[in-house]
Amino acid sequence: MAQQSITEIFNLTGKSAVVTGGAIGIGKAIVLRLAEARAAVTIADVDLDAASQTAREIQQSGGKAQAVKCDVDSPDDAMRTIEKTVEAFGRLDILVNNAGVYPPAMLADMNRETWDSVLNVNLRGVFTSSQAAARQMIKQGGGGKIINIASVEGLHPAPFLGHYDASKAGVIMLTKAMALEWAAHRILVNAIAPGGIETPGLDVLLGSFTPPGGKIDETKQYHVNRTPLGRMGTPDDIAKMALVLASGAADYMTGSLVVVDGGFLLS
C-alpha cells in the first residue's frame, strides 16, 4: 500500500462531521477547519440563528454545511442531529463534542440546579451525543473519530469552578472508557484539554477570578504571565489540533488526552 502524502492525510473529502456547540468560539473554529479540509459539517447548537450563519459562511465558500438546533443533553436531539447528518451527507465519520457551559459559583453556595446544569451539558451531553454517533458508526460497519473537548480544569482545579472541573475530569475518563469499548469497532476516541482561550465567554469566566474593584484585563494578564508561551490561546489553536485528531494523522491514536495550553500546567 502506497504511503499517503501529507495532503491526502489531511483531506477529509467524502467524510461528514458533527460539531456540537459549533456556532461560535472554539466550536466555530473547528467547524471552519474541518470544512477547509473538505468535510461536510453539521453545526449542532442551541442557537440556531448563529449556527445557520456559520453554515452560510461555509456554503458561500463552496463547502457543505447545515445547521441543526440541538440540546446535547437531549437523547432525542442527539439522535435527530445524527439522522439529519446522514440524510444530508450520507454517513457520519466524525463527532466533536464541544458544547459546554461554565457559570462560576462557589461550591458552598451552589444550588443543585446549577450543579446539574453544568454536569448535564458538559458530561452527560458528551455521553448522549457519543452514544448516538457510535451507534450510527457501528451501523455503517465501524470506523470513525470522536473528539471530546475537555479542559485543563479537568487536571488542575480552579476556584469557583468546582462543577466545571468535575465535569471535565469526567470527560477525560469517559474518553478513555469509550476508546476502550469501541476500539473493536475502529471508533477512535480522543480528547483535547484547552488552556485559557480567547472566546466570547472568557471575560465572564475571568470576572469570577477578579477581586472586587479589580479589572478583568489585569486578571487576564496574570494568566498570560503564568503561561510559558506568554499569550492566551486562540480558538484556532484548538481547531488545528482537532483537525489532526480527525485526520489520518491520528489513525493509531485512541484514549489519549492532548493538552493545548501554551505550557500553563507547567507553571
Structural domains for the chain: 6-197+234-261 (3.40.50.720), 198-232 (no CATH)
The answer to whether residues 50 and 25 touch, using CB atoms and an 8 Å cutoff, is no
Question: Collapsing DSSP states into helix, strand and coil, what is residue 99?
Answer: coil
Q: What is the pLDDT of residues 154-211, one digit of tens each?
A: 999 988 899 999 999 999 999 999 999 999 999 999 999 999 999 988 877 777 677 7
pLDDT at 23 over 90: yes
pLDDT reported for residue 118 = 98
Residues in contact with 1: Cβ distance below 8 Å, sequence separation at least 6, in sequence order: none
Choose the weakest-confidence range: 25-39, 83-97, 151-165: 151-165
What's the rounded mean pLDDT across residues 118-145?
98
Residue predicted with more confidence, 52 or 104: 52
What's the rounded mean pLDDT across residues 203-225?
81
Instruction: Give me 90's grid cell.
Output: 450520507
H helices within the chain, ranges in order? 6-9, 25-36, 48-60, 75-89, 112-119, 125-139, 162-182, 202-209, 216-226, 235-246
pLDDT at 249 over 70: yes
pLDDT reported for residue 159 = 87
Question: Which one is catalytic: 102, 164, 222, 252?
Answer: 164
Q: Match 461560535 to its residue by C-alpha cell.
A: 24
pLDDT reported for residue 33 = 99
The string of DSSP letters for 112-151 reads: HHHHHHHHIIIIIHHHHHHHHHHHHHHHTTS-EEEEEE--
pLDDT reported for residue 75 = 96
C-alpha torsion 182→249→58→187, nearest 10: -10
Instruction: Give me 9's grid cell.
Output: 492525510
pLDDT at 244 over 80: yes
What's the rounded mean pLDDT across residues 91-107?
96
pLDDT at 213 over 90: no
Own/partner contacts of 201-206, CB < 8 Å, gap of 24 or more, are: 201/25, 201/102, 202/232, 204/104, 205/102, 205/104, 205/161
pLDDT at 1 over 70: no
| 252 given a catalytic annotation | no
Mean pLDDT of the chain: 96
pLDDT reported for residue 82 = 99
pTM: 0.96
pLDDT at 214 over 90: no
Residue 216's pLDDT band (cuts 50, 70, 90): confident
pLDDT at 4 over 90: yes
What's the rounded mean pLDDT across residues 55-75?
98
Question: Collapsing DSSP states into helix, strand and coil, what is residue 67?
Answer: strand
Strand partners, 105: 161
What's the rounded mean pLDDT across residues 120-124?
98
The answer to whether residues 133 and 82 touch, using CB atoms and an 8 Å cutoff, is yes
What's the rounded mean pLDDT across residues 65-72?
98
For residue 217, count other CB atoms closer than 10 A to its CB. 11
